[in-house]
Structure 1
Amino acid sequence: MTYPPNAPAAQATAQGTAPAPARPGTVPAQPSGAPASGPPAGRGAWAVGREKLREAATTEPGRLQILGAVLALLVVAFGAVTTLEVTDRGSAADDVVSRSQPLSADAAAVYRSLADADTTAASGFLAGTLEPAESRERYDKDIATAARLLVKAAANTGDASESAREITTLNEQLPRYTGLIERARAANRQGLPLGGAYLRYANQQMTNELLPAAERLYAAETRRLHEDDDAARTWPFLSLGLGLLALAVLAWAQRRNYARTHRVFNQGLLAATAASLVVLIWLLAAHTVARTELNTARAHGQESLQLLNQARISSLTARANENLAVVARGAVLTEDGKNDKYEADYTSSMTALTTALASARELADDDAGRSPVDEAASRTGEWQKRHKAARAEDEAGNFEGALSRIVGAKETTGQSFDQVDAALERALAHEQAEFTRSATDARDALTALPLGAAVLGILGAAGAVLGINRRLSEYR
């Protein structure tokens, strides 16, 4: 008896294939579909923001929002940069008035005090074994002034600065100098010739150590004054550029508004334009005034002060050399051994004095400034004549006659020196007042601008935003 085959087996046999036997413990294979794709890669915030910005730029409300943000940013940036730049220049101008120029003047005063102390010590030595009380008081006052100004300068300079190094040198050398002067006085009161040697050695200490250090201190403080002055007068080009750019974009925005709506005025944009224009004009005017006043302070104050300080220092040096020439009595010669060293130094100092006075007179811009300079020049001429007469007495062997023409209250070179010094002091006071007034005016011209620029910048940005929002309201 035969049985018919199963249908599946028959179908498989008919197709020439046989079903694979199932393995125990395995899962039958499942039909595979299309390969699954992973999740889309995430985009950064910048890419998303850029896409939204691109979409917004395709509609007029979106373009208006972008324009409002740009206008507000430009106006605020203009106000902020103007505030920062003008604050920096105002600070430099304030340093000129209250820090660097006073320190430069104090450094010059240190030099003058030291030189005058040296001159006064020599004059007191020539007066005899008993030094006059006036001479001693003047010497003590000069030393006290120099010490006080050095303390003040040390408090206003950095420890690592060039000025600090010179102040240290002066503080170290000044007690040594005063000690030598006291030894010279003690020997002089006893009538010992050793006093003259101590006095000459003290003068060498002053000439070779103290005065060069004081001169370097003055030069360092003067350089800092020039740096502050240059910083205060530098044009704020970034502020000016941002101001012009803000005005140009505001003008374009209002022209665009007119072209699309035929409305001439947009109050918000007009307010932003007015605020930016006021800041720009204020900036130009204030900085022009500041530069003009600083130029005046430099030309008619700072340069005049330098020349007058040089003249006063030259007069002090000439007087010290004149006194020492009498004290040394030809014992100290020039390097070639042909001339008296102190007399040669006196001649060169008097030449420097007359040259500085001539230059100072050319810079004086009014009669109040020229009058003391003319008087100093006249008294210098008298001084030279009296010195020539004293030298003639000394060369003739009349030491007492020469001494009487140098030391004394009337008709002496000492009187001429005091008159020259008094005239130079008046000239310095006048030029100092001129400098301070011009530099203060320069600083005051910039005082209110930083706050004004900040306030107007904020108001201008608010006006720009309100002006754009007024247009946006038409689309709602």
Structure 2
Amino acid sequence: MPSLPALDADRWMDRDSAQSRPSRSLSGMAVAARRAPKRLWRVAVTPPGVMTLVSFVCVLAILAAGGAMVYSSTVRQNEVNTLITQTEPLADSAQELFNKLSVADSIATTGFLKQGKGNNASQVEYSEALRDASEAILRASHGIQEVDSREMEITLLIQQELPKYITLVAQAQTNDRVRNPIGASYLTEASALMQGTLLPNAQELHLLTSRRVSDQQAQLVTPLWFPLSGLAAAVIILLIVQVWLAAETHRRINVGFVLATALMIVALLWASGSSALTWATSWQKVDGTVRPLQELTQARITAQQARTDEALGLVQRDYDERRQNTYSQRIAQIGEALEATRDDVDSPARIDNAREALRLWDSSHASTLYQMQNGNFNEALQISLGAEGDATSSETNFEILDSELQELISEQRDDLRVVLNDVRTSADRVTKIVTFLTVIAALCVIAGTRPRLQEYV
């Protein structure tokens, strides 16, 4: 029997070796995996391993502190954007809604007292006020994010009740054209709906949105304490590590760590200074803007209420003591608001004009009331409504007062937006600078550690 070649004879050994090699490889990997923690520990407890681990902790602390500051500044920018684009416009829409509803009621009431051309002009103004009120409702509803919130409930209620008011006013005007006395009753019912349901809800909406604006503004000017403490902690860690390195390597200064510490101190001082400056200046500016804005808005609301109640007393030919006391309280509140905000507004002259118009309105009201008490209704009506261009009538001076208040409110809103934009710019600047400084500081730590590690090679 011929013998096999040596290669063929030994092939079974090659096959066995080839089959057994993977099993030995897997076994070796398992052994290596079990031994890896011990090897890592042996490396970690060596001077180079400890130095590497300490450097890694420093880099992690720097990046974490910088990341926290960047994240907080970014969140603040988003909050400012939300306040500028949603919350503050919603509060303004609520304020505008109240005023337009009040204007519509006032015009409907005073227009009911007019005849001829004056009544036609009042009808145009009344339609414009209702249109503006409807637009304000739409803007307010679009600005409300939570469907189940009280704000949305109020806007839906106003949308449901406003058509009822419009219908009652239309019935009052129709009956008045044919000299039917029942027109006054329809107007009284319409005004009661406005004063008892629509305006109180609109005022509540304004208060809710204004409070939200105030709360968000207070949060925006609060210093970022947590990320600032992170930057301070990173600086402390770097200082401690430098002392340890000096003792470990017998060198007093590590240039990389010194530069990293200096950069983190600059980042800490920059962020702290920016936060302190924003807190000091913006808090004062916000308080000097929001408080007058709220007081002037409330003064305009109060003026609208006083004028509507005054006109309704003429329609009903009844101005009793209760109504007069309410009117006097409202006039006093308006005067106090104008006095309190004079030094905080950009245009004190407008405050002076408003106060003079308020004084002339109150004087005209006193004359109107005197004529009514003496049974001279036509004279009282003439004093209250006045002829076109009459500078002493209640209507003329009320319109001057309302116009000045409206302009003052617009100016305060512009100032508020400037303050908010400054806060947003400051937050954006802090984000960019801290990001740059922390990244460079982390690289400096790595650069400062590398030469010391090479000494052990």
TM-score tier after normalising by the smaller chain length: 0.7 to 0.9
- Residue matched to 2:447: 466
Alpha carbons 2:293, 2:409 under 8 Å: kept? yes
2:330 is the counterpart of 1:349: yes
Structure 1 Cα separation of the partners of residues 134 and 176 of structure 2? 26
2: distance between equivalents of 1:138 and 1:369? 28
Pairing partner for 1:87 from 74, 81, 91: 74
Rounded to whole Å, the distance in 2 between the matches of 1:462 and 1:114 is 63
What's 1:406 paired with?
384
Match of 1:375 among 343, 353, 376: 353
CA shift at 1:289, angstroms?
3.0
2:156 maps to: 168
1:56/1:237 Cα in 2 relative to 1: closer, same or farther (>3 Å)? farther
What does 1:236-255 align with in structure 2 at a 5 Å threshold?
A: 236-255=224-243
The question of 1:66 aligning with 2:53 is answered yes
The one-letter amino acid paired with 2:273 is: A
Distance 1:271 1:173 in 2: 69
| Residues 379-410 of structure 1: per-residue CA shift (max 9 Å, x gap) | 11111111111111111111111110011231
CA contact (8 A) 1:383 1:416 kept: yes
CA contact (8 A) 1:177 1:205 kept: yes
Is the partner of 2:428 in helix, strand or coil?
A: coil
Contact 2:259/2:441 (8 A) holds in 1 = yes
**Of residues 120, 123, 136 in structure 2, which corresponds to 1:136?**
123
Give the letter for the 2:79 counterpart. Answer: A
Q: Deviations over 1:281-304 (max 9, x none)?
A: 221122223323431343211110
Equivalent AA in structure 2 for residue 371 of structure 1: A
Q: Is the 8 A contact 2:112 2:119 kept in 1?
A: no
In 1, Cα distance between equivalents of 2:327 and 2:233: 63
Which residue matches 1:150?
Answer: 137
* Alpha-carbon distance, 1:341 to partner: 4.8
Cα pair distance change 1:444/1:46, threshold 3 Å? farther
Alignment-mate amino acid for residue 177 of structure 1: Y
Identity of aligned residues (%): 24
Query: Is the 2:214–2:290 Cα contact (8 Å) retained in structure 1?
Result: no
Q: Which position in structure 2 is the counterpart of 1:20?
A: none
Contact 1:304/1:431 (<8 A) preserved: yes
Amino acid at match of 2:309: N
Q: Structure 2 matches for 1:319-330, cutoff 5 A? A: 319-330=307-318
Query: Is the CA contact (8 Å cut-off) linking 1:115 and 1:317 kept in structure 2?
Result: yes
**What residue is the counterpart of 2:178 in the other structure?**
190
How far apart in 1 are the matches of 2:92 and 2:142? 15
| Displacement after TM superposition at 1:257 (Å) | 3.0
Structure 1: how far apart are the matches of 2:134 and 2:285?
29
TM-score with structure 1 setting the length: 0.83
Instruction: Tell me what 1:125 maps to.
Output: 112
User: Hey, what does 2:22 align to over in structure 1?
Assistant: none
Code of the residue aligned with 2:48 in structure 1: it is P
Show the counterpart of 1:456.
Answer: 437
Q: Which runs of 5+ in 1 are unaligned?
A: 1-41, 334-338
Equivalent in 289, 308, 316 of residue 301 of structure 1? 289
Q: Please, which runs of 5 or more residues in structure 2 have no aligned partner? A: 1-29
SS at structure 2 position matched to 1:132: helix
For residues 31-50 of structure 1, what are the structure 2 equivalents within 5 Å? Answer: 49=37
User: Greater CA deviation, 210-219 or 289-298?
Assistant: 289-298
TM-score by length of 2: 0.87
Q: Which whole-Å deviations, capped at 9, do the CAs of 1:48-91 have from their partners, x for residues lacking one?
A: 74x55653454221221111111111011111111111222222
- The letter of the residue matching 2:47 is E
Instruction: Note the alpha carbon deviations across 1:394-428, whole angstroms, 9 max, x for none.
Output: 11111111110011231211111111112212221
1:206 aligns with 2:184: no
In the alignment, which residue of structure 2 is the partner of 1:107?
Answer: 94
Aligned pair in 2 of structure 1 residues 243, 440: CA closer, same or farther (>3 Å)? same
Q: 1:47 to 1:236 in 2, by over 3 A?
A: farther
The residue identity in structure 2 corresponding to 1:110 is L
Task: Give the equivalent residue in structure 1 for 2:304.
Answer: 316
Size of the aligned set, in residue pairs, is: 424
3-state DSSP of counterpart to 2:455: helix
**One-letter amino acid of the counterpart of residue 437, structure 1:** V
Structure 2 contact 111–122 (Cα < 8 Å) conserved: yes
When residues 247 and 90 of structure 1 are mapped into structure 2, their CA distance, relative to the original with a 3 A threshold, is same
Mapped partners of 1:185, 1:48: distance in 2: 94
Residue aligned with 1:124, SS: helix
**1:219 and 2:200 correspond:** no
- Distance in 2 (alpha carbons) for counterparts of 1:320 and 1:135: 14
1:394 aligns with 2:367: no
User: Are the equivalent residues in 2 in contact too, given 1:129–1:191 (CA < 8 A)?
Assistant: no
RMSD: 2.4
Alpha-carbon distance between aligned partners in 2 of 1:321 and 1:68, rounded to the nearest angstrom = 76
Question: Quick one: which of 224, 228, 237 aligns to 2:216?
Answer: 228
Question: Which has the larger helix fraction?
Answer: 2
Amino acid in structure 2 at the alignment position of 1:370: P
How far did residue 451 of structure 1 move? Answer: 3.8
What per-residue deviation string (whole Å, max 9, x for no partner) do you get for residues 208-229 of structure 1?
Answer: 1100110111111112212322
The answer to whether the Cα contact below 8 Å between 1:125 and 1:131 also exists between their aligned partners in 2 is no
Q: Distance in 2 between matches of 1:48 and 1:237?
A: 42
